Structure 1
């Protein structure tokens, strides 16, 4: 599995905007320099983020982009899905049907079960992370995410115990 460049760079741009001080914005040029991306690519990514409702543009000479809502209200899972989509969705099987109109495994597919479980696990973890959780240092984020992951593992163990 890979995270696309659009997801990675789009998310990094959103995070950089989130780190701006109150009443500050970042221009496409400033984002381009800060992330080492072309201005055209930054413009494309900011357009996607703006259409998804995560950022707003500010007009004027010192205009740029600001968060459309507080970082604590921006869910990481939803941001990544708006930039590239889910790893697995209901349309997945139709996309990989080979030369046939329908997948020849559409009735009984053990692989589909795997992708559904992977997507479920990713959603469960990323739904608990906000943009605010990632604004601090790497160490702070690492601690927070480690705690979330440990809690996620405990929930899975508890669910497994109940199922048995």
Structure 2
């Protein structure tokens, strides 16, 4: 399981837009320069973020991209799923049947239980994080995420 480049860069682009103080937002060349990405790749990512409702484009010569809603209302779990999907989805097992048309473990799979548990844990943490939580410094977001993890551990006990 890996975080894809599209998820990482898409989230970074969204953070750049969220941090922007200009009411016109940030345009593709500015985003490209800020993140060290090609303009074509930034265009692809902004298109995904626009289609999925996280950003809007501003009109005009100086136009760019702005958040479509407040950063406090943008859930990181949903953003990552829009950019790349879940770590584990129900379709996963159908994609890896081996040489058979159906997986030999499709009826009784202990591994599937593990992947589902990991996905549930990831969802529980990421559902608590908003874009606003990531706008500040790394130190601030680390403290916030550590407190979330502590709360999760307390609720499990």
Contact 2:10–2:83 (8 Å) recurs in 1: yes
What is the CA–CA distance in structure 1 between the aligned matches of 2:156 and 2:64, rounded to whole Å? 43
Corresponding residue of 2:21: 21
What is the CA–CA distance in structure 2 between the aligned matches of 1:42 and 1:79, rounded to whole Å? 16
Trace 1:10-49 onto structure 2 (pairs within 5 A).
Answer: 10-21=10-21, 23-49=23-49
1:59-87 residue CA offsets vs partner (Å, 9 max, x unmatched):
11110000000000000000000000001
Is 2:62 aligned against 1:62? yes
Residue 56 of structure 1 and its aligned partner are, at CA, apart by 0.4
What is the CA–CA distance in structure 2 between the aligned matches of 1:35 and 1:96, rounded to whole Å? 35
What is the CA–CA distance in structure 2 between the aligned matches of 1:22 and 1:147, rounded to whole Å? 32
In structure 1, the residue corresponding to 2:20 is in which secondary structure?
Answer: coil
Residue 34 of structure 1 and its aligned partner are, at CA, apart by 0.3
- Cα RMSD for the two superposed structures: 0.9
Trace 1:1-164 onto structure 2 (pairs within 5 A).
Answer: 1-21=1-21, 23-157=23-157
Residue 24 of structure 1 and its aligned partner are, at CA, apart by 3.8
What is the CA–CA distance in structure 2 between the aligned matches of 1:127 and 1:138, rounded to whole Å? 19
What is the CA–CA distance in structure 2 between the aligned matches of 1:16 and 1:22, rounded to whole Å? 11
What is the CA–CA distance in structure 2 between the aligned matches of 1:22 and 1:37, rounded to whole Å? 21
Structure 2 segments unaligned to the other structure (5+ residues): none
Structure 1 segments unaligned to the other structure (5+ residues): 158-164
What is the CA–CA distance in structure 2 between the aligned matches of 1:39 and 1:100, rounded to whole Å? 43
Residue 22 of structure 1 and its aligned partner are, at CA, apart by 5.8
Which stretches of structure 1, 4 residues or more, deviate above 3 A after TM superposition? none
What is the CA–CA distance in structure 2 between the aligned matches of 1:15 and 1:99, rounded to whole Å? 43
What is the CA–CA distance in structure 2 between the aligned matches of 1:155 and 1:126, rounded to whole Å? 16
What is the CA–CA distance in structure 2 between the aligned matches of 1:135 and 1:42, rounded to whole Å? 19
